[in-house]
Structure 1
Amino acid sequence: MSNTQLRSNCLSFVELLAQAIALISPTMTAALIIPVMYGNTGEWSWLSYALGTVMLLFVSFNLNQFAKRSTSSGSMYSYICRGLGLTSGGLGGWSLIWAYLGISMAGITGFSIFAGKLLDMVGLSVPTVVLFAICAGAAFYLAWKNVQLSAMLMLVLEGVSMLLILVLSVIVLSEHHFAIDTAQFNVSKLPWSNVGLGVVVAIFSLVGFECATAFGDEAKNPLRNIPRAVIWSLIISGAFFVFVTYAMVIGTRGYHQTLDQIDAPLNVMAEMAHVGLLQIPLSVGAMVSFFALCLSCINAGSRVIFAMGRHGIFHGAIAETHSKNATPHVAVSIMAAIAFIVPTVLVFAHQVSLDIFNWAGTMAAFGFLVPYVLITLSAPFYLKKLGELRARDWVLCGCSLLLLLIPAIGSVYPVPPAPIKYFPYAYLAYLVIGGLWLSSLHKRKPDVSTSIRAELERTHAQFKLGEQ
C-alpha cells in the first residue's frame, strides 16, 4: 500500500524561516538584481525595495488570515480553495507550479554563473550543463532525502552569505565615514515614471515569502510559526535589500562603469573598498545561495504538486511519499527534472546563463502575482464563511489589490523589449491550459469537487483536534 503522509511536526520556526528566506534569496538580489533596479530607478533604488516590501506585507496580512486559522500541505493552493472554491484554487496552484519552477531555474543558472567565475579564478573550465546537473542533482537528493536537513543547510548557506554581504556593506560605509548620502534622498531626482517598474523588480526580489505555508503538514505549531515565518521573512529580506542597495550605490560610485552595467557588483564593492580578499568568499556565498534557492523551490513546489495530486487534480502517484524519508519523492523528481531540462535545452540553443536567469525570473514573477491576487480576494470570503469578517478586512483586501496593480501594470507597460514582451502571453497560454485541464477534470470526475472539499475539511478538523 502506498504512503501519502509527510513527516509531521519536524520543522521549527527557524527552519520555516530558513525555507522562506532561501527562496527569497537575498544574496541573489545583491549579486545580480540590484544593478537591474538601478537601471530603472537610479539613486532612489532603495525606495523601490521599501515600497515593494510594504506592498507585500499587505498581501501577507491577507495570507495570514488563513495561516493562523488552518494548515495543510500545498501553500496558497489550499487556502484559495477554502476562500474562492476549487477552480480558483486549482488555477492558483497551477500558477504557483510555474512560479516555483521558474525560480528554481533561476537558481540553477545563477549557480552556474558564480561557479563558473570561481573556476575561472583557478584556470578551470567546466561545461555549463555539467554545472546545471551538479546543482539540480544535489538539490534533488536533499529534497528527496530529508526536508529538515534541507532547511538547516539552507539556513547555514544563506545566513553566511548574507553576513558576508552585510560586513562588506558596513566596510563600504565606514570608508565614507558613515556620512549620509544626500544624492539618494534628492527628491528632484526621483524618477516617478519608473517607480512602478522599480516596484516590479522589488516584487521579483521578494517573491517566495509565502513558501512557509507549503509545509503545513510538517511544521511544528503551524498556526503560530507559519504566520511568523511569512512576516519575518519579508521584514528581514526587505530591510536587507534597502540597506545593501543604499551601500552598493555608494560603494560603486566612481567606478568606470555605472552600477547598471556591472555584472559582479559585490566584487566591485570589495575592490573599491580595498578588501579584494572578500571577492572569493563573496562569489562562493553567491554560488551556494543560488543552490539554496533551487533547493527551496523544489521543496515548496513539490508540496503544491503533492497536494494537487492528493486531491485528484494530477495522477494519484504524485501524491505518494517515500516509505522511509516521508518526502513527496515523485513530485520532487518532477520539479528537479523540469528545472534541469529547460535551461539545458536553452543552452544547447546557444543562449547564455545570464539571459536564461533573467528570463526565468521574469516569467516566474507572473506566476506569483496571480496567486497573490487570488489569496487577497479569498481572505474576506473565507472569514465570512467562519463568521469572523470585519469591515477592516475588506479595507485590507482593497488596499492590497490596489497595491498589486502597480507591478501588474508595470510588468507590461511601458512595453518591454523582446523577448520579454512576449512572456505575459506565454504565461497566459499556460494559465489557459490549466483552466482547460480543470474544466475537463470536472467533466471526467464530477465527484472530484465533493471529495476535495471533504478532504480539506477532514484535514482541517483533524489538525484542530490535534491542537486541542
Structure 2
Amino acid sequence: MTSTTNTTPSKEREQSLAGRSVSSFEVGAQSVANVAPSAVIAFAPASMAASAGSGAWFSFAIAMIGVLAIAYCVCVFARRRAGASSLYAFTRLSLGPGGAFVTGWALLIGAVAIAAGSLAGAGYYLGRVLHSAHVTAFDGIPGQVVLDLALAALAAWLTIAGVRIAARVSSALEVLSIVLIVVVLIAVFARSGNIIDTDQLTLNGATADGLVFAVVLAVLGFVGFEGAASLGAEAADPFRAIPRAVMGSAVLAGLLYIFATYAQVAGFGGADKLAASTDPMDDLAHRSGLGFLGPFLSLGFAASFLAVVMACVTVAARLLFGMGKEGVLPRFFARTHPRHRTPAAATWTVTPVIAVTTVLVVGAGTAPLLATTYIDTVGTFGYMLSYVLVCVGAPLFVRRTSSGRTALTVLCGIAGAAVMAYVFYRNLVPVPASPLNLLPYVFVGCMAVGLAGYAALRFRNPQAATNAGTYAEDAQ
C-alpha cells in the first residue's frame, strides 16, 4: 500500500487498516448490503408497474444489463488496483488527481446521503415493529428521532468494532430480510395459480415509453453494487475477490428484482393492482394467508435499511481515511482504532453528519419514507457521477496500458455512461414536483463545496493535491 504519510513503522501500523483480514465472503457481503435488495423489492416493483405495466420485470432486466456494463468498467480497475478509497483510487489511473477527487467527493456525498436516507427507513420500520408489540413510546416524530439516533450509534459502533463483524452482521440482516420476502412470494405463487403469466411474458399492454421510464427507476435499485471496492486494503485476495463481488452483487440483485417483480404482479393479479398498493409485501402476505408475518417483514426491512447504513458508513469512512493518509484532507481522518484497526476517527466524524441530516429532515415533519426518498435521491446523484467517471476512465486506462479487451471496455464505458446520463436527465426533465425539483441543486451545491476546497488545497499545498487517489496498492 503506497502512502504519503511520513511516520515511523510502528506509528504507520497504528494508522493503518487491518490488511488482508477480510474473507472473500465478507467482501461480497459488503456489496450486497450496500445494494440492499430487500428494501428495493419492498417498493420499487409497485412504482415500476405504474409506468411499465406488465413489462416491469423486463425493465429490471434491461437495467441489469446497463449496470453490468458499469460493473465491468469497475472491474477493469479492480483487477489492477486495490485500496480503501474505492472508485476514488481507481479513476486516478486515467483521469489524474483532479478526476480522482471529483469521483471521490461524489462518492462520499452518495454514501453519506444514502446512509442518512436509509437511517430514516430503518427507524420507521423499527417503530412499526415496536408498535405491533404494543410499545408506543416511539410513535410520532420525537420517537422516530430517538430511534434514528440510536440506530446511527449502533451502526457506528459495529463498523468500528471490526469490518469483519460489520460485514457479517449486515449480510445476516440482509439474508434475513430476503428469506422472509422469498417465503411470502413463493406462497403467493403457490396460491395465485398464475405462475405462467402470459401477460407478463408477452409484455401485454406495455409501451416503449413506459418501459424506458421504469428502467430509470430500476437502475436506482442497483446503486452501491461496487461497495466491495472499499475493502481493497483489508481484503485477503482483493484482486480476485472484489471483481467477483462487484459483478456477483449486480447479478444477484438483478435476478432477485426480476423474480420479485414478476411474482408481485402475478400475486396481485395485474400490474395495475400492484401499482395501487401502498404496502405491497404486507398486502401479499395477507393475500397468501401469511398476515402474521407482517411484523417480521417490517423487522426484515428495518434490518435491510440498517445494513445499508453500515455499508455506507464503511465506504464513507474509508474514503475519508484514504484522503487523510494522502494529505488531501486533515491527517486526523487517518487515525485508526488501536485494537480493531478500523478508521475510527473518520467513522465518528461521518456518523453525526448522517444522523443530523436524517434528524433535520424527519424532525421537520417529513414522513420517514418520504425522507428516505428525498435524501437517497441526492445520494444517487453522487453515485451516478462517480459511475460516469469510472466508465469514462476505464477505456482510457485499457487503451493506455493495453491491459484488457479494449473494444469491450469502450462499449461498456459508452453504455454505462449513457445509462447514467439518461437517468440523470429523466430526473430533471420533465421538472418534478417540489421538493424533488430542488434535489439536483442540493447535490450540485455539495459538489461545489468539495471542489472549492480542493481548489484551495491546490493553491496552498499543490503536492498534497496531486496525491489524490494514490493511497492504494497496484497488482504486480
Q: 1:271 aligns with which of 261, 269, 286?
A: 286
* Contact map agreement 1:48 1:202 (CA 8 A) in 2: yes
CA gap 1:293/1:44 in 2 versus in 1, 3 angstroms: same
Q: Distance in 1 between matches of 2:78 and 2:125?
A: 36
Per mean C-alpha deviation after superposition, the further-off stretch among 325-334 and 427-436 is 427-436
TM-score, length of structure 2 as denominator length: 0.92
CA gap 1:48/1:332 in 2 versus in 1, 3 angstroms: same
User: What is the percent sequence identity of the aligned residues?
Assistant: 26
Alignment correspondent of 1:160: 176
Q: 1:223 aligns with which of 235, 239, 248?
A: 239
Q: How much does 1:217 deviate?
A: 0.4
The reply to whether residue 442 of structure 1 matches residue 458 of structure 2 is yes
The reply to whether residue 208 of structure 1 matches residue 219 of structure 2 is no
Per mean C-alpha deviation after superposition, the further-off stretch among 233-242 and 163-172 is 163-172
TM-score, length of structure 1 as denominator length: 0.93
Count of matched residue positions in the alignment of Structure 1 and Structure 2: 459
Q: 1:136 aligns with which of 135, 146, 152?
A: 152
* Contact map agreement 1:99 1:367 (CA 8 A) in 2: yes
Q: 2:252 aligns with which of 208, 217, 236?
A: 236
Alignment correspondent of 2:443: 427
* Contact map agreement 2:177 2:297 (CA 8 A) in 1: yes
CA gap 1:187/1:30 in 2 versus in 1, 3 angstroms: closer
* Contact map agreement 2:323 2:468 (CA 8 A) in 1: no
Alignment correspondent of 1:370: 385
Q: How much does 1:436 deviate?
A: 1.7
Q: Distance in 2 between matches of 1:75 and 1:162?
A: 27
Q: How much does 1:273 deviate?
A: 1.0
CA gap 1:198/1:347 in 2 versus in 1, 3 angstroms: same
Counterpart code for 2:286: E
Counterpart code for 1:118: V
Q: 1:181 aligns with which of 190, 197, 200?
A: 197
* Residues 246-257 of structure 1 mapped to structure 2, 5 A cutoff: 246-253=262-269
List per-residue Cα deviations over 1:338-397 (Å, max 9, x = no partner). 111111112222222111011012111111110101001111222234243634432332
Q: How much does 1:450 deviate?
A: 4.6
Alignment correspondent of 1:406: 422
Q: Distance in 2 between matches of 1:177 and 1:208?
A: 36
Q: How much does 1:37 deviate?
A: 2.2
Q: 1:295 aligns with which of 310, 330, 347?
A: 310
Counterpart code for 1:386: T
List gaps (5 residues or longer) in structure 2: 1-10
* Contact map agreement 1:55 1:400 (CA 8 A) in 2: yes
Alignment correspondent of 1:460: 473
Q: Distance in 2 between matches of 1:310 and 1:33?
A: 39
Per mean C-alpha deviation after superposition, the further-off stretch among 246-255 and 420-429 is 246-255
Question: 3-state DSSP class of the match of 1:214?
Answer: helix
* Contact map agreement 2:328 2:467 (CA 8 A) in 1: no
Q: How much does 1:452 deviate?
A: 4.6
Question: 3-state DSSP class of the match of 2:337?
Answer: coil
Q: 1:100 aligns with which of 111, 128, 151?
A: 111
Counterpart code for 2:375: A
Q: Distance in 2 between matches of 1:427 and 1:450?
A: 25
Q: Distance in 1 between matches of 2:208 and 2:110?
A: 29
Q: Distance in 2 between matches of 1:391 and 1:198?
A: 29
RMSD: 1.9
CA gap 1:110/1:214 in 2 versus in 1, 3 angstroms: same
